[in-house]
Amino acid sequence: MSEINRNLRRSVSINMVGRYSNIGIQLVVTALLARTLTPQDFGLMAVVSVIAVFLSFVSEMGLGPAIIQFEGLESRQLAGLFWMTVAVGTTAGLVLAFSGPLIASVYAKGVYVQIAHGLGLNVALSCWAIVPLALLRRRQRFSTIAGIEIGSAGLSGACAVYSALRGSGVEALVVKSTANALSMFVLCMVWARPPMISPSVRGMKHVMSYSAYQFMFNLVNYFTRNLDKLLIGKFLGSAQLGLYDMSYRLMLMPVANLTHVVTPAIQPVYAAHGNNSDIIFLSYQKLIRVLLIGGGLMGLVGITCSPEIITLAYGAKWVRAIPVFSILSVSIVVQVVLSSTGSVFQALGKTKELFKCGMFSTTTTVTAIGFGVYTADLLLLSWLLVLSFFVNALQGFHMLAREGFGRSVVELFRPAGWLILGIVILGGIAIAAQDYLYSLPGNAFVRLATKLLVVGTMYFGLIFVTGDAAFLRRALAVRTRRVAI
């Protein structure tokens, strides 16, 4: 038990350093681009990005998690998978590039042709990097991956800002995306050195079965996560889409801060104990508690500090994004915890159950988005989307507890019960007090500092009363003692 937690802590610590550094770079780059470009530029990019991500998911075919899960793959089999991704990625990239005129016709904007051409290369490069990146993760070389991600973010960000300052408009966003994909591919190839000789795909029926359900989950998850952007761009316009997309991306940053340092480590570490679900269950109970502590605080900060966060991050011209960001922040805590389930399903070999959860999420989320777009009310759409996240969380954790561990969802969350109740109460207070919080005097920096002090004091008081502060202290003490040795 201590070994699995120790390995997970070590991996998460490395990922945390890399992720926070990456997020810091992204915040600076986004702030600079938001002050140079317009909401419409970001809206134009968002439409084609949705299609690019879709093609990337299709091209990935669920092979990344499969390579991590099955350590017995031979060199020739890995070579076969690598060249398969090269062929599929190249095809997908060409499909997007040649679809430019069709996209421009649907949205009645000729600029989509140039955007599609640029992102076609992005799709190909992202697919080519699947095998080398998966090999680095399987080897648990998280420090190497962190360095690659930081370097790629810095290089692509510098290229994008330079392009934007030269007046390139939306093309600066294309440059940022493509430069990042190119850097990731080259660096992953250098460090992973994937097998490339004598490729073969024989004897991998078990891999294809595992990856098939993973692929189908990726497909439905993509559809769930991106349908809103396609419909808003089509029926509400690129300006409204820009406001929504930038608010959504900013809301996802704390989710990424907390979960993306954890989820890459979950499958490699837990898969090594895949035959002992009891050990994984006990470890995951503690992980859920940690994610709830962090996610609860970030969600409360997002709700209460939305005017200051939007103004400081994007500038005064984005003021209409404030209520959208505030509403979406309600879902931060549930997204932080829910996003960890996919890696646990994978480590347990339950990709079929993961796909079932994806189908359920698609149904609820598509219903919410469809009704919201029909009303043409961006705020109502945001509330409906938040509601769908909570419904999906209930179903997803029920499936994981029952099918993955043979336990009840109540048992899974029992150690964090009082913390959940406290977060709900503080969240309700924050939502009820929004009108008062919006009218506080002073400049944005002063208001932000005041709110952070109040929210932080209340929240740390909560985790002290619930015993979660002591829980964190024990976890940190264990880690410190290990490092000292």
State the Cα–Cα distance between residues 101 and 110, nearest whole angstrom. 8
pLDDT of residue 47: 79
Q: What is the model's pTM?
A: 0.69
Token pair, residue 234, equals 């089509």
| pLDDT in single tens digits along all 485 residues of the chain | 456 666 666 666 666 666 667 777 887 888 888 888 887 888 888 778 878 877 887 777 778 777 877 777 888 889 999 999 999 999 999 999 999 999 888 888 888 898 998 899 999 999 999 999 989 988 878 788 888 989 999 999 999 999 998 888 888 999 999 999 999 999 999 999 998 888 887 877 777 777 777 777 777 777 777 778 878 887 888 778 888 888 888 888 777 666 666 777 777 778 766 667 888 898 899 989 989 999 999 999 999 999 999 988 888 788 889 999 999 999 999 999 998 898 888 888 888 898 899 889 889 988 998 999 899 899 999 999 999 999 999 999 999 999 989 999 999 999 999 999 999 999 999 988 877 766 677 788 888 999 999 999 999 999 999 999 999 888 666 444 443 33
State the Cα–Cα distance between residues 423 and 289, nearest whole angstrom. 12
Contacts from 409-412 at CB under 8 Å and sequence distance 24+?
412/281, 412/284, 412/285, 412/288
State the Cα–Cα distance between residues 219 and 303, nearest whole angstrom. 31
Token pair, residue 21, equals 């550094």
10 Å CB burial of residue 167 (0-12, 13-18, 19+) is: exposed
